[in-house]
Amino acid sequence: MSVLTQEHEPLCLVGTPYVYGSRDMCTGLDCLTTIASAYAMLGMVFPLPDDYGPDFIPDESFEQWAEYFEACDPEPWAIVDMSPSHAGLLMPNLRTILHCRETTGVVLDRRSNLKHLIKGYFRLR
């Protein structure tokens, strides 16, 4: 895996509008497609379910996706599992999380501001 610094490609997602279940960067992203898009820029594949779209009901936790993910300590590009049914991507500085908000779209937030929501960290197997 190549490690990029926070001023590189994944930040070009910041400002992309939010659309629940969206798989199209032209119309918007949701939390899982934000991660999938950032991973694609890193040359990695995020395993979105084939039926992912507006009618998809996400699992409560990445622990249920054990086939694809394993728990880890905070590390660059780790998936951040947040309550309720939300996820983001931990940036290489380990202080910011790339995720998607309904009101503002794709954003970077301080990890310390989201610590009350964080349930765990996961990486691809």
Domain 9-47+59-124 listed as CATH 1.10.580.10: no
**Cα distances (Å, whole numbers) of residue 84 to 10, 22, 63, 87:** 24, 19, 14, 9
pTM comes to: 0.83
> What token pair was written down for 15?
């400002």
Per-residue pLDDT tens for 52-94?
777 776 665 666 677 888 999 999 999 999 987 889 999 999 9
Per-residue pLDDT tens for 20-64?
888 777 788 999 899 999 998 888 888 887 777 777 766 656 666
